[in-house]
Structures are given as C-alpha cells and as structure tokens.
Amino acid sequence: MSRYRLSTLLLILAGALVLATPSPAPAQSGGRAQETSPFYDRFDLEFRGGTLEAYLSAVRTASGFSNIVVAGPADRLPMPAVTLERITVLDAVALVDSLPAEPNVDVDVDKLDNALVVSVQDRARRAKPLTDESSVWSLTGLISDDMPAEDILTAVEAGIGLLDGESEIRYHDETQLLIVRGPERHLTMVHSLISELKVSVSRKNASSEMKSRAEAFDNMKHEIEASRERILQLEMAVENAQVASIEFRERARSLQAMLDDERAKSADALAHQKMSSQTRIHELQSMVARLESALAEQSR
C-alpha cells in the first residue's frame, strides 16, 4: 500500500472518530461563551480531495469563518477526500493535526483569540526552536494610503532583523491580521513596533482632526462675518425704507392740504357765483314786473 493511500485511510479514520465522538456537554461556567464563539459553529463539508490549502479554503467557505490563516506551503501537502457532518470550525481545522507526518514537514494548529493559524514548517530549511511562540496583531486602523501593509511588514522585518534568531512572518490580507511565530524577544519587538505605529497614527489622526476643526472654525468665522455684513445691509435697507416712508407720508399730507385748499377756494367761488346769479335774477324779475305794470297802465 502506498504512503499516500495509507495517509488517506488514516485521515478518513480520524474524521470518522471526530464525527462519531459525541460533543461533551458544556460546563456551567464558560459554556455560554463556547456557544457564542464562532470556533464552535457547526457546519457540513464534503471535500473531494486536493491540497491542504484547498481544504482550509473549503472550511472557510462552508463555515463562514474567514479568520483561518495559513502560514507556509500548504499548497504542497496532499489532503484526501473527507465528508464531515455537524462539525465545529475548531475541530475541522484541528483535523489537519491528524495528517500523517510528512518528511521534513511539521503542521501545527494554533488557536488564538480571534483566529486559527495553521503553520506548515519545512524542517530542512529551518529548524523550529521549541521555545517559538505565535502572536497575532490586527493592522486594522493602521493600514491606509499613506501607510500600506507592505511598509508595516518591512518595518517588522527590519526590527526583527536587529535581533538574533529567526521568525516566520505572515500577513492575511482579507482580515488584515499579522501573524508572527518566533522567539519571545521577536514578538516583544513586533509588539513594541505595532504599539509605536498606533501611537504615531493616533497622533497623526489627532493632528488632522485639530486641523479640520481649525478649518471648520475659520469657515464658521467667515460665515459669521458674512452674516453680520448681510444684517448690516438689511438694517440699512430697513432704515432707508423708513426714511422713504416718512417722506412719502409728508408728501401725502402736503398734497392733502393742497387739495383741501383747492376745494375751499372752489366752494367760495361757487358761493359767490350763486349769490351773483340770485341777485341778477331778482333784478330781472323786478324789471319784468315794472314792464308788466307799464303795459297795464297803457292798456287803460
């Protein structure tokens, strides 16, 4: 029987054991935390065989848990076909520990706070010290157009390069997670560097915020000055309107007085003309009466 077929049978057997073993009942303390952790979400998976990297990608897709980070040449390791039912994310990833040992290759699974890290180590290229540890840092909030992930990784490599020993550095672009496996002094260096970058970004953001506030304050001052200018213009317009209104009322009163005077003059003229007409009528009536008397006398 070939080594690959033996590996396939052993892995299928391991998968069957995982599926057949009932999940232990959660303890009273911490049980609720397990139920809410995405590590313990259950799902089904049918993997038809391929590489370890393809298997882990299928686990991400089927479970919806994307924080599964692969460090090392996982695309070179074969992974046999396997069918899993109602398995947790943690157990599905831990299943790779059941892979039979490959020559000069170690496969380790590390469970971190918010990620699962699968490390594939090549013993022929670098012996892994027993004191190596793994840590994960989120670069969310640090990565920007001014500070791309490549610059941060370059700074991390430069900082580790100042120390003795070797470390493995991996960056997961989808989740913006930085994974470092190495001696504790290397992890301390990376932690200090990331902390200093966060302080620098925080100061830069604070400076940008202060600048934005100063610009907003200047704009507000300009708007206030413009508003004051508009208010002054409106006040002048109101004052001019009031002056014009007073002049209009004065002109109206003057015209009314002239009209009243003309009416009075017209009334006096009419009264005088009426009196003259009445006097003339009386005179004519007297003349007519005298003529009638004269005519009457002549007739006798």
The per-residue pLDDT string of the chain (300 residues; one tens digit each, 9 = 90 and over) reads: 333 333 433 343 344 333 333 344 344 444 444 556 788 889 999 999 888 889 999 999 999 988 888 877 788 888 888 899 999 988 888 888 766 656 667 788 888 777 888 887 766 555 444 467 888 898 888 888 888 999 999 989 988 888 888 889 989 888 889 999 888 889 988 998 888 888 888 888 888 788 888 888 888 988 999 899 999 999 999 999 999 999 999 998 989 999 888 888 888 888 888 888 888 898 888 888 888 888 888 886
Q: 273: left (phi > 0), else alpha (psi -120 to 50), else beta?
A: alpha
3-state secondary structure of 182: strand
Please write the tens of the pLDDT for every residue from 108-124.
888 877 788 888 776 65
Where along the chain do its domains lie? Answer: 1-126
Q: What share of the chain is helix, strand, coil (3-state, %, to 5)?
A: 60, 20, 20
Strands 133-138 and 177-182: what pairing? antiparallel
Please write the tens of the pLDDT for every residue from 63-109.
998 888 887 778 888 888 889 999 998 888 888 876 665 666 778 88
- Are 193 and 152 spatial neighbours (Cβ–Cβ below 8 Å)? no
Cα end-to-end span (Å), the chain: 186
Go through the chain and tell me how many residues it has.
Answer: 300
- Are 168 and 180 spatial neighbours (Cβ–Cβ below 8 Å)? yes
3-state secondary structure of 127: coil
Amino acid at 103: P
CA distances from 199 to 80, 135, 185, 250 (A): 47, 20, 21, 75
Report the b/e string of 160-171 with b at 16+ CB within 10 A.
beeeeebbbbbb
Amino acid at 262: E
User: Which residue from 37, 36, 88 is spatially nearest to 59, judged by alpha carbons?
Assistant: 88
Read out DSSP for 59-73? HHHHH----EEEES-
User: Per CATH, which fold does 1-126 belong to?
Assistant: Phage tail protein beta-alpha-beta fold (3.55.50)
CA distances from 117 to 34, 146, 154, 170 (A): 19, 29, 21, 10
Q: 81: left (phi > 0), else alpha (psi -120 to 50), else beta?
A: beta
The number of beta carbons lying within 10 Å of the beta carbon of residue 94 is: 17
3-state SS, one letter per residue, for 78-102: EECCEEEEEEEHHHHHHHHHHCCCE
Q: Which two tokens stand for residue 199?
A: 């302080």
